[in-house]
């Protein structure tokens, strides 16, 4: 709760004003039945038209003030709810940026998207629409109960029969619907996953003519979401008819007993009319509160899912970092072990030790699945070594600030991506303030210059999401150019020329090699097949564990 309120803090002024508007509106609405009772018992009974007119104008004035206060609440509540949602999304996204690869492996991408969108929307809507009944209903209920007992204490005892019935029904509904809301959001995750996989791999789906299979797979998860949602909302929907049944039963009881009292002179007609108005307000307040509890139940399920992301312990931190920079790029592995999960029985990498001096080019050769990519990801601390130590320039990698460490290392990952935007904007991910001349030089080394002029607008050509409008080989050249533009101390190419023809591959390999010699940087290439790392100073053959 403390964490939740911290996101609300920037909007506490709007939240307080919204609550004040609600309470003031409730107060004016509660006065109206009293004025109505006075019109009947005094104005109508005495035939005093002037009194009726004055009290009628008073009722209109109170109604207009209530309307203005209601508009004020709507403004402040929407600002509070939407602002809260924006703060939660911002904090959750910032948390995701701190995740290491190991943290990210614990969540599916589709689930993270749902937690950033659907779950946050559920919470912000609950705040925007739930503040009114949550703060208005208790006040109206208490005041209406007090006035009802003032009008006729015996008749007001009917509330002590209706209230426990309403409470018991609400408790039953909430306890049974709460787990269904969690299942429902999990079903949304599955739908998002299938959609995401299909859109990402749409070319593969079409090339294998698997459209019907994908439709069947989507129908299964979509039907699962439909069934889960129906169960949840069917149970939640019981709230309204049951509440109305009790409401009308209570009104009939009051009309019966109140009519008997009025017939023997124990209750005035105006008092009975006013009493019925307050009865309606009390029972309507209870119904609104029951809806608030249902909204809270769904919001709590969403908040629990968001909290799982926010409470995820970041396993790679800057706790030991000092104000130092990578100067040379000398790399040394000293008896390094690694496994993805602490409880795993076997290590993925076992007792790895080697030394790479500045300016050297090293190739790692091993079977597919031999953890070559994992090994290189330990250098920039994308994963953390389970035991042993990795040194850069003789200093443990944990002592470098993460930003400085990763800025000094350029990794062309096996699974890489291009972002929506121009070619030039994508290249400047390597270095934001790079000049056009530096971009051109990096592209020459990576052989991007061989095709860039054929693009419609050259460097200003807009790339689709993931670079869908360039070929696989062109993507890989852009990845390499982006890495070179970073001017790193260590350049790591992870199977980064697999989609490039042999002649271009030879040019690319020669380019970073010459550049590394000029800058005395390390050039480090894992490969899945024997012919891949041609020309390195050292080979590390066999499986790296």
Contact 544, 353 (CB under 8 A): no
CA Rg, the chain, in Å? 34
**Residue 240 confidence (pLDDT) above 90:** no
Spacing of C-alpha 204 from chain mean position: 29
Question: SS3 for 424-487, per residue?
Answer: HHHHCCCCCCCCHHHHHHHHHHCCHHHCHHHCCCHHHCEECCCCCCCCHHHHHHHHHHHHHHCC
pLDDT at 425: 93
What's the start-to-end Cα distance of the chain, in Å? Answer: 47
Per residue in 180-221, pLDDT tens?
A: 888 898 899 899 889 988 887 887 888 888 889 999 999 999
Spacing of C-alpha 389 from chain mean position: 35
- Domain ranges (residues) in the chain: 2-310, 331-540
Q: Which residues pair with 81 in a beta bridge?
A: none
From residue 197, give the alpha-carbon distance in Å to each of 190, 204, 216, 473. 11, 11, 14, 23
Name the fold adopted by 331-540: Rossmann fold (3.40.50)
Residue found under tokens 């129908």: 219
pLDDT at 525: 56
Per residue in 157-179, pLDDT tens?
A: 777 777 788 778 888 888 888 88
From residue 23, give the alpha-carbon distance in Å to each of 147, 153, 360, 544. 17, 25, 74, 69
Q: What does the pLDDT average to over 381-393?
A: 94
Higher pLDDT, 245 or 515: 245
Count of Cβ atoms closer than 10 Å to residue 58 Cβ: 15
pLDDT at 523: 54
Contact 99, 315 (CB under 8 A): no
Mean pLDDT of the chain: 84
Count of Cβ atoms closer than 10 Å to residue 422 Cβ: 16
Confidence label for 544 from pLDDT (cuts 50, 70 and 90)? very low
Distance CA 90, CA 74 (A): 24
Show Cβ contacts of residue 217 under 8 Å, excluding neighbours closer than 6 positions: 194
CB-based burial, 68-100: b 16+ in 10 Å, e otherwise = ebbebbeebbbbbbebbbebbbebbeebbeebb
Q: What does the pLDDT average to over 84-103?
A: 92
pLDDT at 16: 92
Contact 283, 141 (CB under 8 A): no
Spacing of C-alpha 269 from chain mean position: 57
Per residue in 525-541, pLDDT tens?
A: 554 433 334 445 554 54
Q: What angle do CA 448, 452, 453 make, to 5 degrees?
A: 140
Distance CA 520, CA 518 (A): 6
Q: What angle do CA 399, 400, 401 make, to 5 degrees?
A: 120
Per residue in 275-302, pLDDT tens?
A: 777 777 777 887 788 888 888 888 988 9
**Helix, strand or coil, per DSSP, at residue 357:** coil
Instruction: Indicate whether this model's pTM tops 0.85.
Output: no
Name the fold adopted by 2-310: ABC transporter transmembrane region fold (1.20.1560)
DSSP state of 343: T
pLDDT at 521: 52
**Residue 469 confidence (pLDDT) above 50:** yes
């Amino acid at each position: 709760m403390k964490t939740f309120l911290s996101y609300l803090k920037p909007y506490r002024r709007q939240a307080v004003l919204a609550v004040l508007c609600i309470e003031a509106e409730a107060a004016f609405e509660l006065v109206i039945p009293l004025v109505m009772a006075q019109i009947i018992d005094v104005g109508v009974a005495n035939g005093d038209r002037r009194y009726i007119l004055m009290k009628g104008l008073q009722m209109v004035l109170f109604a207009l003030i209530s309307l203005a206060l209601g508009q004020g609440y709507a403004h402040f509540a929407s600002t509070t709810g939407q602002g809260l949602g924006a703060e939660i999304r911002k904090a959750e996204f910032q948390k995701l940026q701190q995740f290491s690869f190991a943290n990210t492996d614990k969540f599916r991408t589709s689930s993270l998207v749902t937690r950033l969108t659907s779950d946050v929307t559920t919470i912000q809507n609950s705040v925007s629409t739930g503040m009114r009944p949550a703060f208005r209903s208790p006040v109206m209920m208490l005041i209406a109960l007090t006035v009802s007992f003032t009008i006729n204490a015996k008749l007001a005892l009917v509330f002590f029969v209706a209230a426990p019935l309403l409470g018991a029904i609400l408790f039953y509904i909430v306890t049974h619907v709460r787990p269904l809301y969690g299942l429902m959001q999990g079903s949304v995750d599955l739908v998002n996953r299938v959609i995401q996989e299909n859109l990402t791999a749409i070319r593969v789906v079409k090339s294998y003519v698997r459209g019907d299979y994908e439709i069947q797979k989507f129908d299964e998860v979509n039907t699962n979401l439909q069934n889960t949602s129906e169960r949840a909302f069917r149970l939640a929907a019981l709230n309204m008819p049951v509440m109305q049944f009790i409401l009308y039963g209570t009104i009939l009881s009051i009309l019966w007993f109140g009519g008997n009292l009025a017939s023997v002179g124990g209750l005035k007609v105006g008092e009975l009319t006013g009493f019925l108005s307050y009865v309606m307000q009390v029972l309507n307040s209870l119904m609104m509160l029951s809806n608030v509890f249902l909204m809270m139940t769904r919001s709590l399920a969403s908040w629990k899912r968001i909290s799982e992301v926010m409470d995820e312990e970041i396993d790679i931190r800057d706790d030991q970092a000092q104000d130092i920079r990578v100067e040379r790029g000398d790399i040394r592995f000293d008896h390094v072990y690694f496994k993805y999960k602490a409880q795993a029985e076997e290590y993925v990498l076992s007792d790895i030790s080697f030394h790479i001096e500045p300016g050297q080019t090293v190739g790692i050769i091993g079977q597919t699945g031999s953890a070559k990519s994992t090994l290189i990801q330990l250098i920039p601390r994308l994963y953390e070594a389970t035991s042993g130590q990795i040194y850069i320039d003789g200093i443990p990698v944990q002592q470098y600030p993460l930003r400085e460490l990763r800025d000094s290392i350029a990794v062309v990952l096996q699974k890489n991506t291009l972002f929506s935007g121009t070619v030039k904007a994508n290249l400047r991910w390597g270095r934001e303030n790079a000049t056009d001349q530096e971009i051109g030089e990096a592209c020459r080394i990576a052989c991007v210059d061989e095709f860039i002029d054929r693009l419609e607008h050259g460097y200003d050509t807009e790339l689709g999401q993931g670079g869908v409008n360039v070929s696989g080989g062109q993507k890989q050249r852009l990845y390499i150019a982006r890495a070179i533009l970073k001017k790193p101390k260590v350049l790591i190419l992870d199977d980064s020329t697999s989609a490039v023809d042999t002649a271009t591959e030879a040019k690319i390999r020669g380019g970073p090699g010459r550049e590394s010699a000029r800058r005395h940087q390390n050039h480090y290439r894992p490969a899945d097949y024997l012919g891949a790392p041609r020309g390195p100073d050292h080979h590390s053959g066999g499986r790296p564990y």
